[in-house]
Structure 1
Amino acid sequence: MPRRSPLRAVRAAVVAAALLAAAACTSNPTPSPSAPSAGNSLAAPETPTITARIDAGLTLPWSTVFLPDGTALISERDSALLKFLPPGASGPAATVAKVPDVVPDGEGGLLGLALSPHFATDRYLYAYFTAQTDNRIARFRLDGSSRQPSLGAPDIIFTGIPKASTHNGGRIRFGPDGYLYVGTGDSQRRDQPQDRNALGGKILRLTAEGKPAPGNPFGNNPVYSLGHRNVQGLDWDSAGRLWASEFGPDVDDELNLIVPGGNYGWPEVTGAPHRAGFLDAKVVWPSTAESSPSGLQIVGNTAYLGALRGQRVWAVPLSGDVAGLPVAYFTGEYGRIRDVSLAPDGRLWALSNGQNPDFVLVLSLRG
């Protein structure tokens, strides 16, 4: 696999020094990932501050979505339980239901959640989960009240995403266009990401019924972008541009700007090698120990990412198609961070991961 040239290594060191200065006001600042030099002049991100810690008694939570009234729904990977916290709750999360047919294995289990853009009328909750033979997507009607929601029978809308003990992807999210975007992993099958007809190592774009969305780049094919290793986060900026976070191997975690039909290189290249035919990452963390970025939430002109191995929250300023220098917060203070999501009240929720039990950090933002 191509590695960085000596010139690129020097450039990364210069950027690292710049971040040490920029991050001086953060807790436990760390050396920077490499980033486009054009991003050095971007405005500093809004600073997250902790306003609450909810000891929710969770076990390996993976994804959070919010109902219109502020009720939080949280998936637990290994238990396959869908949990909920009503607005203002400060104690343990209660159980909605156990999602049927989930077969946890390694990184697989009950993973991403997404709420229908028409939830007020259709009441659909979507879930990505690992089953006996594959990863798949189901939708459920969510009934009842915020004090005791109930889950209807599953309607399986998409199947056949390859599974393995690692690299299962799992993030799902409805885009501004009303279609469902799905991040998948290569499932340890390195032939999948470069194959347009395979589902592994991709971002998929589907209708609400699980069909390939109109206007996809490869015709009647669910694939929207390819050459991914393990997509973990999806969100859109204020101009409707899609960004995705992705695990690298032993080097080069990535934040990518996604374009239809774009090829992001795995397994041929990682990071930003400037190689013809592949799109470079906008931010590269050369050391996966600093990041392993999972859930992604964009607020204003800043992307916030939870870091698993890195045990911190990264904030990356954005401007157009340029990403600036990442800044680290809470490094090593709260363990692994799996997801970052925006609540209706404008605060961020960050899910800890593997703290036994896990908790929710509620973050306010200030300039």
Structure 2
Amino acid sequence: MKFIFSSLLFLSTFFFVSKSKTKRADDLVSIEKQVDVNITDSTRIAVSTVISGLNVPWEISWGPDNWIWFTEQSGTISRVNPQTGEKKELVRISEVLRLRSLGLLGMAFHPDFKKYPYVFVDYTTRKDSIHIVCKLVRYRYAHDKLIDPKTLLAIPGNTGHNGSRIVISPDRKIMFATGDAITETNAQDINSLNGKVLRLNLDGSVPADNPIKGSLVWSWGHRNIQGLVYGPNNILYASEHGDASDDELNIIQKGRNYGWIRVEGFCDQPKEKTFCDSVKITEPIKAWTPTIAPAGIDYYNADAIPEWKNSVLLTTLKDSDLRVLKLDKTGKKVIQETVYFDKTYGRLRDLCVAPNGDVYVSTSNRDWNPAKGFPKETDDRILRISRSKKGMTLAKASLSQPEDRSLTSDNGKRIYTQYCSACHKVDGTGVEGTFPPLKGAEQVLGEKTVLLKIILKGLSGKIDVNGKSYNQHMPAFGFLKNQDIADVSTYIRTSFGNEAAKVSVDEVIAARN
């Protein structure tokens, strides 16, 4: 659990896994009227709304006062009574820079909170008119406010890939996960603090037993960690965003290299194998292709939902679901994965576990890349999943509707749904100011080679589409088969009101050269 030391215990990437929609629960589930859903064959549970109308609750943690503490990406830290929904704002940080995935992010409590009522948070801000920094700041809690901010660390930031999560280790160190700041060389550069898991003393100094003398670096080769939690046997788990492939669940260990940007997921591609033969790489214990955009994680070992015991609980953004990753007895292998609430509540950002086994989940529907049909008027929310005497069977929360055969019969549409629609949207309209539209774009309708080169090689930098400029960091999809690229290129060129010629496999082969 995220708070394990008190008596409480607790770019654009581009993939979107194609799934059938489950039957949607009521848009607003009040505390007074719960909607019961059974999540396992024998255990019945209820889903209820603790609080609504939030602005992307990025981190939620079970607090030292039996309330839920949470950050909102726009710059506020608050706490909410999980039983009544009463909210108290603790601080509003005016210097927070909220832009796309930037803002107020991770949070953790001092392990001896009664004696040292400190809260550690990290956020992005502007150093000047040009440069962005990511700060790790310590606040003191007094009289129901967070006061006396002290900056422990400031590292370079960027318009994306700033991480980041914070946890306190069993040996009372700050573990701080940073993103690569959209700079390819950072993750493998041990002199850079980006693309790392950093380890600090509680006062911000460098621990003497870190793997590199005088350095905060604990592990490296990370792209953009989005979840961090300790599980059994002091194992530190991290969920991480991949690029064009291989979202990851990793076990973070001292002095280990996790491969990015030279390795994505496992060492299974020719260039990756060559690199892994010369450099020792720690591979993930789980990887997802197409990517699911894994977000917050927590460890579950309560009796309330016994079927989830000894599992890493994972929220996802692109797939908009809750995943239960069952571990083996060692905690080092995922032996089963079960998906719940598929697209029922929209994008899910974080979660925490209460001492009684209730699970709290935050939605992320007012962020920079909302899913189709979101945000709702009630977004964003913190939801409670609790054991209930009444309800339906687990299958209702984990089963999807029958597969949409139109996706399997049209390979181009299937590939587009899996790999493209998260950014460019189902109708090809993109996201204003962020992801360019495909409808009517010269890059889509013009010379075929232009579109093929973008798909095969990726795109980084500014691009003008339909008279508007977009700053793009689109990954390369050259790992797809020639037929898949031909089919998806044809689908893009002939859909969304476009009228253009189809793409052949021979044209894909020629574009690869």
TM-score normalised over the length of structure 1: 0.82
Q: 1:303 aligns with which of 297, 304, 312?
A: 312
Structure with the greater alpha carbon radius of gyration: 2
More helix by share: 2
Q: How far did 1:365 drift? A: 6.5
Q: 1:23: which partner in 2?
A: none
Q: How far did 1:89 drift? A: 2.1
Q: How many residues align?
A: 319
Q: 2:85: which partner in 1?
A: 90
Q: For 1:48 and 1:141, locate their aligned partners in 2 and report how far apart those are by CA, in whole Å.
A: 40
Q: 2:281: which partner in 1?
A: 278
8 Å CA contact 2:50, 2:83 repeated in 1 = no
Is 1:81 the equivalent of 2:104?
A: no
Q: How far did 1:244 drift? A: 0.5
Q: For 1:190 and 1:208, locate their aligned partners in 2 and report how far apart those are by CA, in whole Å.
A: 30
Q: How far did 1:219 drift? A: 1.7
What is the one-letter code of the residue matched to 2:134? N
8 Å CA contact 1:69, 1:87 repeated in 2 = no
What is the one-letter code of the residue matched to 1:81? T
What is the one-letter code of the residue matched to 1:142? Y
C-alpha spacing 1:244/1:365, structure 2 compared with 1 (3 Å): farther
After TM superposition, which residue ranges in structure 1, 4 or more long, deviate above 6 angstroms?
44-48
Q: 2:333 aligns with which of 322, 331, 334?
A: 322
More strand by share: 1
Q: Deviations 1:77-97 (Å, cap 9, x if unpaired)?
A: 12x011221241236x34222
Q: 2:198 aligns with which of 196, 204, 215?
A: 204
8 Å CA contact 2:52, 2:380 repeated in 1 = yes
Is 1:53 the equivalent of 2:53?
A: no
What is the one-letter code of the residue matched to 1:243? Y
Q: For 1:318 and 1:364, locate their aligned partners in 2 and report how far apart those are by CA, in whole Å.
A: 22
Q: How far did 1:27 drift? A: 5.8
Q: 1:239 aligns with which of 211, 219, 233?
A: 233
Q: 1:70: which partner in 2?
A: 66
Counting only pairs closer than 5 Å after superposition, residues 16-35 of structure 1 correspond to structure 2 as: none
Gaps of 5+ in 2: 1-18, 24-39, 128-132, 302-309, 366-374, 389-393, 395-513
Q: For 1:329 and 1:206, locate their aligned partners in 2 and report how far apart those are by CA, in whole Å.
A: 36
8 Å CA contact 1:68, 1:344 repeated in 2 = no
What is the one-letter code of the residue matched to 1:334? Y
DSSP-derived class of the 2:126 partner: coil
Q: 1:348: which partner in 2?
A: 359
8 Å CA contact 1:126, 1:140 repeated in 2 = yes
Q: 2:106 aligns with which of 83, 107, 112?
A: 112
Q: How far did 1:45 drift? A: 12
C-alpha spacing 1:155/1:46, structure 2 compared with 1 (3 Å): farther
DSSP-derived class of the 1:239 partner: helix
C-alpha spacing 1:199/1:54, structure 2 compared with 1 (3 Å): same
Q: How far did 1:46 drift? A: 10
C-alpha spacing 1:176/1:365, structure 2 compared with 1 (3 Å): farther
Q: For 2:200 and 2:113, locate their aligned partners in 1 and report how far apart those are by CA, in whole Å.
A: 17
Counting only pairs closer than 5 Å after superposition, residues 74-223 of structure 1 correspond to structure 2 as: 74-78=70-74, 80-90=75-85, 93-133=87-127, 134-144=133-143, 149-160=144-155, 162-223=156-217
Q: Deviations 1:272-297 (Å, cap 9, x if unpaired)?
A: 12542211111011111xx2111110
What is the one-letter code of the residue matched to 2:358? R
8 Å CA contact 2:316, 2:347 repeated in 1 = yes
Deviates more, 1:82-91 or 1:174-183: 82-91
Q: How far did 1:47 drift? A: 7.3
What is the one-letter code of the residue matched to 1:151? L
Q: How far did 1:60 drift? A: 1.2
Q: How far did 1:153 drift? A: 2.1
What is the one-letter code of the residue matched to 1:359? R
Q: 2:439: which partner in 1?
A: none
C-alpha spacing 1:220/1:81, structure 2 compared with 1 (3 Å): same
Q: For 1:204 and 1:47, locate their aligned partners in 2 and report how far apart those are by CA, in whole Å.
A: 39
Percent same amino acid at aligned positions?
29
Is 1:359 the equivalent of 2:373?
A: no
C-alpha spacing 1:270/1:363, structure 2 compared with 1 (3 Å): same
Is 1:312 the equivalent of 2:313?
A: no
Q: For 2:209 and 2:42, locate their aligned partners in 1 and report how far apart those are by CA, in whole Å.
A: 35
DSSP-derived class of the 1:120 partner: coil
8 Å CA contact 1:108, 1:163 repeated in 2 = no
Q: How far did 1:130 drift? A: 0.6
